[in-house]
Structure formats: C-alpha cells, structure tokens
Amino acid sequence: MVGVGVAGGTGHVGRAIVEAIVATGKHEVLILGRTANPQLSAELGVPILAVDYTNVDALAKTLEEHKVHTVVSAILMMPSPSGELPKEVELIQAADKSRFTKRIISSDWGVPHTKEHISQHISVKLKFDAEKALKKATSLESTKFINGYFMDYWGIPQVKSYMPPTTMVLDIPNNTAAITGSGNTPVVFTHTSDIAKFVAASLDLESWDAVSYIIGDRVTWNEFLRLAEETKRTKFTVAYDSLEKLQKGQVTELPGHVAFAATIGQWYEMGVMDFRPETSLNDCLPQLQTLKVKELLEKAWQ
C-alpha cells in the first residue's frame, strides 16, 4: 500500500481514476486540487487538499507531509479561459523535490504526438514541456498514458462518464456523420473507465515503461459508422471530409459540432491515433478487459 495523490482528481479523467484506485482498496488516496470541496470529498471518501501549484517548495512539502509516494496527474493540459497555463511542470518539479515521492504519471491521456503537431494544437506544446521537465527529474520513475481518443463521447449520457459532452465525426443522437478522410484509417478508442482501471492496476507493477499504452478498441470510422447504424437500426446522413479540406481548417458541420474538429480530423486520417506499440499495459495486465465500440453503442443506443 502506498500513498497516491491525484492532481485534477475532481473531474473528467481524474475522477474516474480516483474511483478506480479507491475501489481496489489497496492504497491511500488523496486529491490535489486548487480549492477544497468538502461535499465531493465526503462523496468520494478521500480528502481533497487545496494546493498552490505555483509554489513548488510548498507543494513538495505537502507531498512529504501526506506521504505521497505516487503522483497521478490528470491536470487538463489546456490554458484556462483566463489564459493561465496548466502547472504540470511545477507539479513534476515538486514531486522530484519531495523526499517521499518516487513515482509520477504525467498528464497526457492522448496519442503519440510528434513535434510537427506542436503548431496544430496548444496542448501538444504543453505536453512536450512536461516531457522535458520529466527528463530533468533526478529521483522519479515516470510514465505517461497513451490511450487514443476517449470512447466516452459516443456513449454519453447513457454510459457513465465524467467527460463533458463533445460531438466529433459521428453525431449519434442526430443520425449524422462527417467522416474524416477516407474513413478507412484505424483509430484507437479507450473509455475512461478502462483507463482508470489500468492506472489503478499499474500502481502495483514493479516498474513502468516510459510510455504506457492502452488499447481499448481499434476500429475505422467507417466501421464505427456501420456499428452505430446497426445498433440504432437506421441509416445515417453521411459526408466525407478529405484530408485536403481538413488541412484548410474546413469540416462538415454536424448538429452538435465543436471548433477543433479539423485538427483532430487530420490526426485521425493520418494515423496518429492508430498507434501499435511493441508492448502495452493490455499485455502486462491481461486480466483487465476493455470496453469495445460495439459494446458501448449497444449499451448507449440499442
């Protein structure tokens, strides 16, 4: 049993991770947050510590005082509405400075990016900055999780998730699709509930790889569309956006669309989300079974 501090553990991926670790009954869990939340703390059954991420020394002292052996970061790697950048680097520095902290999972929860992606999305630069900070750390074993795209979005609200509703490629409630590129490039999808289970189980592994891969399911958009149509027993209205169109920042508007669809669409079609590592946590932890796209659709829409 070790002490685990989950940064950003009150929402989205973080809350799922907290619940999964608590469910194992193996570790002492606390949440690192910007503000205290007694009501949520009581609901989750774990303390929520209000910390100042900008004060590295004070944060390191907090980690020591609460005997946090492992830090799991689920900090959102995007600027806040006010423009404030996430304090992932400061969290890494504090964990490295803490005499008690030996491990950290850095916030990524996405796809294997290259430097060419930096100009396409602000989150990529922030993740590379965190990677540089990890390389400078002297006392930490670290990993980051690569899990593809969150499957949750196509099951909300019928399938439990703490992710905010987002419409991308398949607008299932409105029986509409705007397929990126040919629709034949495989994409890895993983539900946050499965990600959380793998995080919880990985705490018991003797060592970590620098990158921890999870593959929930791998389907093309055309396969995803077919499964959705079969599940709902209806034909969708379908458009295809070529890679050239996506590179111009143009996408077919869906009834529930969001602004960043063109960039993500390029990554889908160019195979960024079809990663195939030599080893993954699926191999290391074969007892953990992941939700498949077909199962998700049947739970949510059949």
CATH number, domain at 68? 3.40.50.720
User: For residue 258, how many C-alpha atoms fall within 13 Å in the half-sphere facing its CB?
Assistant: 13
Residues 137, 19 share a domain: yes
Residues 99, 177 share a domain: no
Domain with residue 224: its CATH number is 3.90.25.10
Domain that holds residue 228: 151-188+217-273+285-301
Residues 168, 108 share a domain: no
Residues 110, 65 share a domain: yes
Residue 130 within a domain? yes
Residues 142, 41 share a domain: yes
Q: Return the residue matching tokens 């070529």.
A: 242
Residue 205 within a domain? no
Residues 128, 13 share a domain: yes
Residue 140 within a domain? yes
pLDDT in tens, the chain (302 residues): 899 999 999 989 999 999 999 999 999 999 999 898 999 999 999 999 999 999 999 999 999 999 999 999 999 888 887 788 889 999 999 999 999 999 999 999 988 888 888 888 888 899 999 999 999 999 999 999 999 999 999 999 999 999 998 888 999 999 999 998 999 999 999 999 999 999 999 999 999 999 999 999 999 999 999 999 999 999 999 999 998 988 888 888 887 665 467 778 888 888 988 999 999 999 999 999 999 999 999 999 98
Residues 293, 254 share a domain: yes
Q: Which residues are within 8 A (CB) of 102 and not within 5 positions of it... i.e. 6 or more apart? A: 69, 70, 139, 140, 141
Count the domains in the chain: 2
Instruction: Classify the phi-psi angles of 183: left when phi > 0, otherwise alpha if psi is within -120 to 50, otherwise beta.
Output: left
Residues 9, 119 share a domain: yes
Residues 158, 52 share a domain: no
Residues 178, 156 share a domain: yes
Residue 65 within a domain? yes
Q: Is the peptide bond before 81 cis (omega within 30 degrees of 0)?
A: no
Residues 15, 137 share a domain: yes
Residue 22 within a domain? yes
Q: Return the residue matching tokens 């400078």.
A: 136
pTM: 0.84
**DSSP letters along the chain, please?**
--EEEEETTTSHHHHHHHHHHHHHT-SEEEEEESS--HHHHHHHTS-EEE--TT-HHHHHHHHHHTT--EEEE----S--TT-PPP-HHHHHHHHHH-SS--EEEEEEEE----GGGTTT-HHHHHHHHHHHHHHH-SS-EEEEEE--EEGGGGTTTTS---SPP-BBSEEGGGTEEEEETTS-S-EEEE-HHHHHHHHHHHTTSS---SEEE--SEEE-HHHHHHHHHHHHTSPPEEEEE-HHHHHTT--PPPTTB-TTHHHHHHHHHTTTT----SS-HHHH-TTPPPPPHHHHHHHHH-
Residues 77, 182 share a domain: no
Residue 117 within a domain? yes
Residue 206 within a domain? no
* pLDDT score at 84: 84
Domain boundary among 89, 122, 146: 146
